[in-house]
Structure 1
């Protein structure tokens, strides 16, 4: 009986030990994917700034901020934080900042579809994983010994 338990334990440890090796590439993929999503959103804002200001004035209801300040903050956040996230530099800070951007985006757009909400949830979960686990082995934080 004891040898069967030992054998099961060894198989279990081997199988789930593989997850330790997959953590670094999974975190790198999450950082790059989320970074790309938000960076593209930032690029679209600067591509047509007049439309961006129009949307922030008439479509998006950002609490406590004027539409101009909200537009600038969202654009800067979507252009700077994704670069930090993708590089794995100040990763947890970047993920926390993008989490705020993500939440405000859902709150600010009153006509958001269920599918869009679901995408924001997926992005939020990926950002939460990065905040909890850090940038991983393939990050500048790891090279610079930044937690």
Structure 2
């Protein structure tokens, strides 16, 4: 019986210690993880845009959009939305754009990669619903302009 109490006490101390870790650092880490993934993809498209157009034409095959337009739009989103997300400037807008892109990729391009897409979507939904957190330009602006956290 004392073993169980000792184990429970240790688990409780571990939980208390873990709660001291700043949520703002976790939120920043989540934003960095997703933001860098999409930004790197955008940079790859810029470095070889002809290849990007070929991918949109032959592999991605998005309905309703010509491959050239889809390549330009996708690249633009991948280069702007991650910056908004990572710096936390209009982070919800950046998260919404990347979530829309994630859902497009999931349902129209690579449905077999659902575990990775679920991770991205979960992080983006968190930012969309809760905001980017304390370590963000949005938080600084909200505090300075409106006097709120």
Whether TM exceeds 0.5 here: the answer is yes
- Normalised by the size of structure 1, how large is the TM-score? 0.81
Q: Structure 2 CA distance, aligned partners of 1:89 and 1:113?
A: 31
Q: Structure 1 CA distance, aligned partners of 2:83 and 2:111?
A: 28
Tell me: higher relative CO, structure 1 or 2? Use CA pairs within 8 A at least 6 residues apart. 1
In the alignment, what sits opposite 1:24?
Answer: 24
Q: Structure 2 CA distance, aligned partners of 1:117 and 1:72?
A: 25
Shift of 1:18: 2.6
Q: Structure 2 CA distance, aligned partners of 1:103 and 1:135?
A: 20
- Normalised by the size of structure 2, how large is the TM-score? 0.80
Shift of 1:52: 0.5
Query: Mind listing any 5+ residue stretches in structure 2 that lack a counterpart?
Result: 1-11, 144-148
Shift of 1:101: 0.9
In the alignment, what sits opposite 1:42?
Answer: 42
Q: Structure 2 CA distance, aligned partners of 1:113 and 1:96?
A: 20
Aligned CA-pair RMSD = 2.4
In the alignment, what sits opposite 1:84?
Answer: 84
